[in-house]
Amino acid sequence: MKLKKIHPVLQNNLSQLGFEEPTILQKSTFGRIKSGQDFVLIAPKEEGKTTALIIAALQRAEAPVDDMISTRVLIVVKDKFEVERLMEEFDRIGDKMNIRVYGVHDYTDLDDDKNQMSLGNDILIGTAERLNLMFSGAGFDVNQLKMYIIDDIDQQLRNRHEPRLYRLSESIGKTQRIYFGKDYVEALDMFVDKTMAEDVEWLDFYDEEEED
């Protein structure tokens, strides 16, 4: 897959897996990811959002330094099944990159999760409820955090996860924020206003399809 200044191992992995050409969505988001810009992405499933999310996280995480234990990328997903699905995809696409990816959800062991945090990871994937429990009990070093991603934000807001998502946002402070969704929901406007930078960009691929 040809994207400007993409990590060479990541590029090779994508090609080996059959991702020869990036989708329009993946091209549109990659430069913004590298620049550190906040953005909201609304697009149908078939546009390749999951792959774009994984490319974003792996590109920003980079290889860990020996003494670095802090998370660089935090990804909030809607449920256990999405944690497990993303873990599998990161394992495939991030092969040989030496990126430490860890997943937590409401059915993992909380003590084990906290221990893993102390050992170190580069990308942490979890549900909003479990991440809030972990951060409130053990604290969270945000000094190395480069990116905060919320996936399926439309569904998470519909499921009334706003209080948990707000608490997480307040806990992590200032970092690049990217929200992925399939549909626009009214609650998203207020959530974006309260949690993102003023120059946030909205990318709506339904509008782009209509223009085409």
CATH number at residue 190: 3.40.50.300
- pLDDT, residue 180, reads 96
- pLDDT, residue 209, reads 46
Global confidence as pTM: 0.92
Q: Report which residue type is found at 185.
A: V
Q: Is 211 among the domain residues?
A: no
Q: Is the dihedral of CA 173, 175, 179, 185 positive or negative?
A: positive
Q: Is the dihedral of CA 158, 207, 176, 86 positive or negative?
A: positive
CA atoms within 13 A on the CB side of 82: 20
> Helix or strand or coil: residue 211?
helix
Tokens linked to 143: 């000094």
Alpha carbon distances (Å) from 96 to 55, 90, 127: 14, 11, 26
Residues 175-184 as b/e (b if ≥16 CB within 10 A, e otherwise) read bbbbbbbbee
Range of the domain at 72: 8-204
CB of 127 within 8 A of CB of 110? no
Q: How far apart are CA 26 and CA 56, in angstroms?
A: 9
- pLDDT, residue 17, reads 94
Q: Is 122 among the domain residues?
A: yes
Tokens linked to 171: 């806990």
Q: Is 175 among the domain residues?
A: yes
For residue 65, name the pLDDT band (cuts at 50, 70, 90).
Answer: low
How many domains is the chain partitioned into structurally? 1
Tokens linked to 181: 């969704």
CB of 74 within 8 A of CB of 145? yes
pLDDT digit string, tens, across residues 176-205: 999 999 999 999 999 999 999 888 999 998
- pLDDT, residue 212, reads 40
Question: Around Cβ 57, how many Cβ atoms within 10 Å?
Answer: 27
For residue 69, name the pLDDT band (cuts at 50, 70, 90).
Answer: low
Sequence-ordered list of residues with C-beta below 8 angstroms from that of 141, at least 6 positions apart, any chain = 69, 70, 71
Q: Is the pLDDT of residue 120 over 70?
A: yes
Mean pLDDT of the chain: 88
The residue behind tokens 């980079």 is 62
Mean pLDDT calculated for residue range 155-168: 93
